Structure 1
């Protein structure tokens, strides 16, 4: 199968208006569309991510009595979180056939306009949910019943996001998952840490052909890895989402203005250029761990000289 464009990242929440206000205020996203479709069980809003042309952030909430999102929230003890990644494929039926050959049974939604499936190896449990649509089926996530939305004026400074950089997935073996994504959808490994670089983790980064968004895979190392604890709680799902910001001091000032703390700050200098990164806890973002980074020159935060050798 081939993914030729990431369309959006979607999070589910019990309180749509509150989450949209957070994204417009702290994150500086701009709402461009909203919908309320009880027949499909969804209320939602689509927001533009600054700098991420063609890719959006969507917030969805239950609508009606039989919403699958209400079931999702019940299964997660009412906690919001990342729901799915939306993408376009050239041939939806070919994707269905490929997934079924690999032991993945996709779910049809909206009368065949899109499919939903976890694209992780099924023998390792449910991973990240993907929503896939093909050409000629452009309605996705309420678009058909959508209406334009007037963006609100942000309350104070925002983070100054300039791009959605990558989505990170936790998995027990980074190479197993990387090979799976390569064989399934042509993901290309472009960067990896040395096995011994970090005491509690190892990671690699995959390019998604046709997308500016990358896919990071992190795996546990050592006897007390935070990734082991994450996998024990929820399995091999999305761990965090990473955004680049234009001005580090301004981003931290925006967090302070909105009473949003950060943690695990790190900084360094690579090839004479500075970089910094930090995290925002899911309880301050609507259920998703968010990483923020800034780099003085492109390519110094994630070193371009860590190109991996060919797989054997």
Structure 2
């Protein structure tokens, strides 16, 4: 199966207007399209992510009497959060065949237009939900028959995001999942930490061919790992989404301006170039754990000397 572009990250909420305002105000996202599709059970807003060519963020809320979005929220205790990652494939039926040959059965979609499935190994239980569509089709959530969203002026300083960098998934064995994604969709491993670099985790990063968005896999190690606890609650779910910011101090000032605390800050220097990263808790983002990073020079936050050697 070939993926040639990540289109958007989909988030669900019961309060569409408040979530869109938060993404405009703090994150600096720009609404570009809105829709209401009662027949499909969904209304939503598509927002452009600053600096990310062709990447968007979609916020989905229930609409109509029989809404799958409402069913999803009910199944998750009403909690908002990340719903899916949307990608384009050159041949939708070939993608379906590739999934089914590996025991992955699509769980939703519209024949000939888009399909929905977890791409994780099925024996490990449901993982991150992907929505796959053919080229140029915006019909996955009803946003092909939409009204243009009215862009509002900026509501104070924003984070200064310049890129959607990666999505992170928790999994018990990082190499097992890396091999799976490489076989399924050609993901290429580009970075990994040594097994013993961190006391409670190890990770690796995969490039998604055709996309500037990467895929991180984190696995637990040692006793009482936070990833083990996350896995016990959520299984092979998305752990966080990471954005790059242009100016660290300005991003932190924006958080303070909007009464948004951060936690888990790290800083360092690689070959004389500084880098920093931190997290924003899901309760301040509408249900998604967000990581922010800044680097003085490209490539110093994710070390190029940790690219795995050729087999």
TM range (shorter): over 0.9
> How much has 1:119 moved relative to structure 2?
0.1
Moved more, 127-136 or 198-207: 127-136
C-alpha distance in structure 2 between counterparts of 1:190 and 1:226, whole Å: 24
Q: Cα gap change, 1:64/1:279 in structure 2, threshold over 3 Å: closer, same or farther?
A: same
Q: What are the within-5 Å matches in structure 2 for residues 60-139 of structure 1?
A: 60-135=60-135, 137-139=137-139
C-alpha distance in structure 2 between counterparts of 1:138 and 1:48, whole Å: 14
C-alpha distance in structure 1 between counterparts of 2:102 and 2:234, whole Å: 23
Q: What are the within-5 Å matches in structure 2 for residues 197-216 of structure 1?
A: 197-216=197-216
> How much has 1:138 moved relative to structure 2?
4.1
C-alpha distance in structure 2 between counterparts of 1:81 and 1:93, whole Å: 29
C-alpha distance in structure 1 between counterparts of 2:79 and 2:181, whole Å: 29
In the alignment, is the contact (CA less than 8 A) between 1:40 and 1:110 conserved in 2?
no
Q: Helix, strand or coil: the match of 1:143?
A: coil
In the alignment, is the contact (CA less than 8 A) between 2:92 and 2:112 conserved in 1?
no
Q: Which residue of 2 aligns with 1:306?
A: 306
Q: Which residue of 2 aligns with 1:244?
A: 244
Runs of 4+ deviating beyond 2 Å: 135-140
Alignment coverage as a number of residue pairs: 311
RMSD between aligned residues: 1.0
Q: Which residue of 1 aligns with 2:31?
A: 31
Q: What are the within-5 Å matches in structure 2 for residues 247-266 of structure 1?
A: 247-266=247-266
Post-superposition CA distance 1:55-84 (Å, at most 9, x none): 100000010111111011011100000000
> How much has 1:136 moved relative to structure 2?
6.2
Q: Helix, strand or coil: the match of 1:181?
A: helix
Task: Could you tell me which runs of 5 or more consecutive residues in structure 2 were left unpaired when the two chains were aligned.
Answer: none
C-alpha distance in structure 2 between counterparts of 1:181 and 1:142, whole Å: 29
Q: What are the within-5 Å matches in structure 2 for residues 143-158 of structure 1?
A: 143-158=143-158
In the alignment, is the contact (CA less than 8 A) between 2:93 and 2:112 conserved in 1?
no
Q: Cα gap change, 1:137/1:33 in structure 2, threshold over 3 Å: closer, same or farther?
A: closer
C-alpha distance in structure 2 between counterparts of 1:63 and 1:110, whole Å: 18
C-alpha distance in structure 2 between counterparts of 1:246 and 1:137, whole Å: 32
C-alpha distance in structure 2 between counterparts of 1:84 and 1:221, whole Å: 27
Moved more, 293-302 or 108-117: 108-117
C-alpha distance in structure 2 between counterparts of 1:13 and 1:99, whole Å: 29
C-alpha distance in structure 2 between counterparts of 1:17 and 1:253, whole Å: 24
Q: Which residue of 1 aligns with 2:270?
A: 270
Give the TM-score normalised by the residue count of structure 1: 0.98
Q: Which residue of 2 aligns with 1:9?
A: 9
Q: Helix, strand or coil: the match of 2:20?
A: helix
Post-superposition CA distance 1:122-174 (Å, at most 9, x none): 00010000000013644232222211111112221000000000000000000
Q: Helix, strand or coil: the match of 2:307?
A: coil
Q: Which residue of 2 aligns with 1:282?
A: 282
C-alpha distance in structure 2 between counterparts of 1:97 and 1:149, whole Å: 36
- Say if 2:236 is the partner of 1:218: no
In the alignment, is the contact (CA less than 8 A) between 2:16 and 2:61 conserved in 1?
yes
Give the TM-score normalised by the residue count of structure 2: 0.98
C-alpha distance in structure 2 between counterparts of 1:132 and 1:50, whole Å: 23
C-alpha distance in structure 1 between counterparts of 2:293 and 2:82, whole Å: 20
